[in-house]
Structure 1
Amino acid sequence: MTLDVLPDIPRELTGLAEWAACMIYVLLRQNRLRPTRLALLSAVALGVLVGVQAGAGMLPLGWWPVGMAASAACMYLFLYAATSAPVRDAGYFCARALVLAELVAALHWQIHCFFFLLGDAHPGDAGLGGPARVLTFAVVYVAAFAIAYLVEARHFRPSQPLDVTGRDLASAAAIALVTFGMSNLSFLNASTPFSGRLGFEIFYIRTLVDLCGFVALYAQQGQRLQQHAKGELKAIDEILRSQHQQYLQSKRSIERVNRKYHDLKHQVGVIRAEVDPRKQESYLDELEATIKDVESQSKTGSSVLDVILTTKHLECVERGVDLTCVADGSLLGFMTVMDVSALLGNALDNAIEGASRVEDPQKRLVKMALFARDDLVVMTFENYFDGEVRTEGGQIVTRRGDRDRHGYGLKSIRYTAEKYGGSMTVRTDGGWFVVRLLIPVPRDFVRTEPTALEIS
C-alpha cells in the first residue's frame, strides 16, 4: 500500500478543501444569505466538515465510504442553506464541489509529497510544519480555488436560473461518483486491474482522474447552457413568427373592414333618401362618426404600427382596458416589418395582460409613447398592475403555468432591441409597470414626414 511509503492527505485539509469548494458555488449565486448570516453559517460549516473528516479518519478502512458519504451530506446541507437553491440545484452544486475539493486537495498533496516527503529520512512526517510547507499549501489552495472560481463564473452567472432537471442531476452525480471512486481506488485496494502500485505515481493518477472529472462536469454545464440557449432562441423565434402572422392576419382583416366602410360611404347618399329622415339622419351621423374613428387610427406614419394599434385597440375595448398612445410611426422605418410587429406586439400584449388583472376598472390603463430624442428612438409602455411581479434569479418570469410556451415576451423584446444596438429597462413606479426601450437611429436612415398620432 502507498500509505506504507507516503502518508495520505490529512483529513483536516480534505475538510478545508470541501468547505472552500462549497464557498465557490455559494459566491456564484445571487440569492445567497446576507453577509453576516453567511459568515456565521460558513464558520459552522467549516467546523463541521473538518470535524466529520477527522472523525471519519478514526474509522476502519472499510468504513471510509461511509465517512465520505457523511461529508458529502454536510456539503449538500451547507450549499442548500447558504444559497436558498432548490433541492436539485443544491445537489448539482454538491456534485461539482465534491470533485473540485478532491482535485485541489489531491493536487496540493502531490506537490507537497514531491518537494517535502520524497527522499526524506522520515517520510511519515506529513504535517505542514515549517514556513515552506505552509507557503506551498497557501499558494496551491488560493491559486487553485481562484482559478476554479474564474472558470466556473463563465458558466454560472448570479442572475441566471440554474433550472437543473432530474437527468442533469443524475448525470452530475454519476460523474462525481465515478471520479471519486476511481481516484481513490488505489488507496482502498491495490489488487484491482485499475489500481496503481508504484507509490508516488498513485498520487499522480488520483490528481489526473479528479481533473478529468472536473473537466467532464464543466463540459456538461457548457452543454446544458448551449441547449438552454437554443431552446430560448427557438421559443423567441416562434414568438416573432407568431406576432408577424398575427400582424398579417390583422392587416387582411382591416383591409376587408376598410373596403366595407368605403362601400358604406358611397351608400350614405342612398340611405339619406329613405323614409323617416330624422331616424336616418341620426343613424347616418353615428355611422359616419364610427367610420372616421376607425380611419383615424391608421395614420401613424407606419403601416405596421397602424395595424397593431388598431388590433390592440379593439382588444382593449373587449377587455375593458383604456389604451392611450402618442406615436410617430415614421421613426420605425429602419426596422423590418417582422421586428416591428414582434417588438410592439409583445410589449402591448404584456401591458394589456397586466392591466386587465387590475381589479379597479378605473385603473385598467395602458400608455404607449413613441418619439425621437437626439439620435435615439424612445419607446415606453406603461400599465397599471396589481403589484405582483414574480422573479427568479433577478429575472421577471411569467405568472402562467405553462412556462415552456409563455414567459418569453420580455426576452423577445430585449432580443429585438439589442439586435438594433438598443437596450431595454424594466421598472415599477407608483403602481405602474414601465418598459422603456432606447434604440439608436442609423446614420443613413432618412425619415419620411414625421407624423404624430394620439389615441385615447
Structure 2
Amino acid sequence: MSLVLGGCELPAQILFPSLFLIVRTLVNGLAGFAYLYLRSDYYWKSKLVMWSSMFACCCALSSIGGMFSFLTGEFLVRGAMEGVVRCLIATLGIPLALYLHAFNFQKYQSIPFSGMSVILIGDASVLVFVLLEIFWAGADYRITVSFAVAYICILGMTLVAVWAMHDMCAEQADIIALQAESQRLQGERELFRATEATLEDLRCIRHDLKNQYSYMQILLSQKRYGELEAYFQQLTDHLPAQLNYIDCGNRAVNAILNMEMGKAKKEDVQMEHQLVVPPVLPFAEDDLCALLANLLDNAIEECARLRQVKDLPVSLRLEIYPHRTYLYIMCRNTTDRKQLQRRGTALSTTKADGRLHGYGTRIISKIAEKYNGCAEFGLDSGNFVAKIMIDMLSGETGGVTA
C-alpha cells in the first residue's frame, strides 16, 4: 500500500494536492487499524483506544512538524534546517508510542464508556484539525501558528485523558481485587465460627453420650431389659431424619456451600440444591470461593430483605454440574425487581451505599472470563437468575481437589 501511494504521490500532489493528502491520511489510518486488528491480542476496546490515539498522534506530529518546518523557513533559515526540524519532531513518535504502550488497557476487561469517549473525542478532534489544516494552513503564518498551538493543546489533553482513564481502571481493578480478598477473609471467618460451633456441639454430644452410657450401664447391670429397650427406642425416635450437610464430592465446594447454608439458615431462607461436582476441579480455590460466595451472598441477602421488609415467600436454588468441558452454575432466587440496571457489563447495586457495594457481579464476571467462560444475569417470572459457565480445560494446574 505504501509503495502504491509512493509511486502516485508526485503526480497526485501536482494534480490533486488536497485530495491526495486526505486519501493518504485515511489509507494510513486503515492500514494501522488492520495491522492492530490482525496482529494484536488486546481486547477490542483497548485496540480501539490504542489505534485511534496512535493514529491521531502520528497525524498531529506530522502536521506539527510541517508547520514548524514552514515557520523555520519563513522566519529563520531555509534549506536543511527545515528538514532537521521536521525530523526532530517526527522522533517524538517514539516516546509517544512508548507512553501509549505503558498506559494501554489490555489487562482491564471493564473500561467505562464515558472515559473511552473522552479519549476518542480528543483523537477525533486532532483528525478534524488535520483535515482543516490541509485546506487552510500555509495561507498565513498566523493561521499556521494557531493550528500548531491547537494541535499541541488537544494532543496534550488526549494524552492526559489516556493516563487518567488508565488510572481509573487500575483503581477500579484494585477495588475489585480487595473486595474479592475481603470476601475470602469473611468466608474464612464464617468457616472458623462454624467449626467452633461444631466443636462446641461435639463437646455437648460427648457429655450427653457419657451420661447416656452410664444410665444404660445401670439398666444393664440391674437386668432391667425392658426399660433398656424402651430407652433405645426413645433415642432412635429422637435421631434426625437427615443431617443438614452438603456433600457434593468436592472438599472445597463442600466447605463453601455449607458455610453459605449456615448463613441462609440464620436468615430463615431454605436453600435447595442439585449438585454434581467433579472431585477435582482445575480452578484456583480462591476464585471458586469468591464466585460461589458472591453468588449466594447476593441471593441470601435479597431473600432475607424480602422476608423482613415485605414478608414475601422466598425461594433459593443452586445447581452445579458439568456440561461438556464447562462447569455450569445456576443460582435462582426470589426478587421484586422489575428490571436490571447495568453499569457496563456489571449490574448496579440496589444497596444504599453504591461506593462500597455493587462489585459482586463484577467479581463473578471477571472470574468467569478468566477461565474462558461467561456470566449472564437476568429476570425470569419474579426470580433473579444468574448463570455462569467456566471452562474446565482452561483452569490452572493443581486446582481444587476433593
TM range (shorter): 0.5 to 0.7
Counterpart for residue 326 of structure 1? 274
Counterpart for residue 338 of structure 1? 286
Counterpart for residue 383 of structure 1? 333
3-state SS of 1:312 partner: helix
1:132-281 equivalence runs, <5 A: 200-258=144-202, 260-261=204-205, 264-265=208-209, 267-271=211-215
1:299 aligns with 2:247: yes
3-state SS of 1:428 partner: strand
Structure 2 unaligned runs (5+)?
Answer: 1-44, 46-112
Shift of residue 365 of structure 1?
1.0
Map Cα deviations across residues 292-345 of structure 1 (whole Å, 9 max, x no partner).
633x61532233333333333333333221111122344454334433332222
> Which of 130, 137, 143 is the equivalent residue of 1:107?
130
CA distance in 1, matches of 2:157, 2:212: 82
3-state SS of 1:300 partner: coil
1:357 aligns with 2:308: no
3-state SS of 2:306 partner: coil
CA distance in 2, matches of 1:413, 1:199: 54
CA separation of 1:421 and 1:338: change in aligned 2, threshold 3 A: same
CA distance in 2, matches of 1:353, 1:278: 47
CA separation of 1:222 and 1:315: change in aligned 2, threshold 3 A: closer
Does the 8 Å contact 1:301/1:330 carry over to 2? yes
Shift of residue 346 of structure 1?
1.9
CA separation of 1:264 and 1:231: change in aligned 2, threshold 3 A: same
What is the TM-score when the length of structure 1 is the normalising length?
0.50
Shift of residue 378 of structure 1?
1.8
Amino acid across the alignment from 2:174? K
> Which of 292, 297, 321 is the equivalent residue of 1:371?
321
Amino acid across the alignment from 1:352? I
Map Cα deviations across residues 240-283 of structure 1 (whole Å, 9 max, x no partner).
33324433443444355346546645654445568998996676
3-state SS of 1:243 partner: helix
Does the 8 Å contact 2:291/2:363 carry over to 1? yes
Amino acid across the alignment from 1:412? I
Does the 8 Å contact 1:236/1:411 carry over to 2? no
Shift of residue 367 of structure 1?
0.8
Amino acid across the alignment from 1:308? I
1:313 aligns with 2:248: no
CA distance in 2, matches of 1:226, 1:446: 27
Shift of residue 384 of structure 1?
1.4
CA separation of 1:432 and 1:399: change in aligned 2, threshold 3 A: same
Structure 1 unaligned runs (5+)?
Answer: 1-27, 29-88, 124-196, 450-456
CA separation of 1:437 and 1:266: change in aligned 2, threshold 3 A: farther
Does the 8 Å contact 2:280/2:401 carry over to 1? no
CA separation of 1:212 and 1:238: change in aligned 2, threshold 3 A: same
3-state SS of 2:351 partner: coil
Map Cα deviations across residues 368-403 of structure 1 (whole Å, 9 max, x no partner).
122222222222111111235551435312221223
CA distance in 2, matches of 1:377, 1:342: 16
Map Cα deviations across residues 391-443 of structure 1 (whole Å, 9 max, x no partner).
14353122212233322222222233333333222121111211122223349
CA separation of 1:389 and 1:293: change in aligned 2, threshold 3 A: farther
Does the 8 Å contact 1:239/1:412 carry over to 2? no
> Which of 379, 383, 390 is the equivalent residue of 1:432?
383
Does the 8 Å contact 2:252/2:400 carry over to 1? no
CA distance in 1, matches of 2:157, 2:398: 54
Greater length-normalized contact order (CA 8 Å, ≥ 6 residues apart): 1
CA separation of 1:312 and 1:243: change in aligned 2, threshold 3 A: closer
Amino acid across the alignment from 1:421? N
1:435-446 equivalence runs, <5 A: 435-442=386-393
3-state SS of 1:404 partner: coil
What is the TM-score when the length of structure 2 is the normalising length?
0.56
